[in-house]
Amino acid sequence: MKTHTTLPTLAGLLLLAFTGGAAAAEHMVTQKNKAFDKAALAVKVGDKVSFKNEDPFVHNVFSLTEPGSFDLGTYAQGQAKGQVFAKEGKFEIECAIHPEMKLLLTVTK
Ligand SMILES: [Cu+2]
């Protein structure tokens, strides 16, 4: 009987490994020289996007695009803040301090 109970357990572990692989990803965007390091980024629903500040001054990443509006507040060099995107859509991401900073984020299923 012992060997028969081992098999379903193994299958369960394999299933866990599979669903784990499909789990939300984390993407890193760097802010340097008053610019995002990419102009556009495509992610999946549930993914997290982290914005790292590599400038010697603060940035304030935000978006007014619904349903993904958010405001990370100001933060200094070396710090990163992240946002999880739970809805599909195209979101324009900006910096409240540097209006020339723009990133177009596309979130799909
Ligand atoms: Cu900025």
pLDDT tens digits, one per residue of 44-70: 999 999 999 999 999 999 999 999 999
Asked if 72 and 8 touch (Cβ cutoff 8 Å), the reply is: no
Q: How far does residue 44's CA lie from ligand 1's centre (Å)?
A: 25
Q: How far does residue 77's CA lie from ligand 1's centre (Å)?
A: 11
Q: Which band of pLDDT confidence, cut at 50, 70 and 90, is reported for residue 9?
A: low
Neighbouring residues of the ion ligand 1, judged by CB less than 5 Å? 59, 95, 97-98
What is the residue type of 78?
A: G
Q: Encoding tokens for residue 36? A: 């995002």
Return the domain boundaries, the chain: 24-108
Phi then psi for residue 48, to 5 deg, are: -105, 135
pLDDT, tens digit, 9 for 90 and up, residues 15-49: 555 555 568 999 999 999 999 999 999 999 999 99
Looking at per-residue pLDDT, the higher value among 3 and 107 belongs to 107
Q: How far does residue 5's CA lie from ligand 1's centre (Å)?
A: 57
Q: How far does residue 24's CA lie from ligand 1's centre (Å)?
A: 27
Q: What's domain 24-108's superfamily in CATH?
A: Cupredoxins -  blue copper proteins (2.60.40.420)
Q: Which band of pLDDT confidence, cut at 50, 70 and 90, is reported for residue 99?
A: very high
Q: How far does residue 54's CA lie from ligand 1's centre (Å)?
A: 10
Q: How far does residue 78's CA lie from ligand 1's centre (Å)?
A: 14
Residue-by-residue DSSP string for 57-103: S-EEEEE--TTS-EEEEEE-TT-EEEEE--S-EEEEEEESS-TT-EE
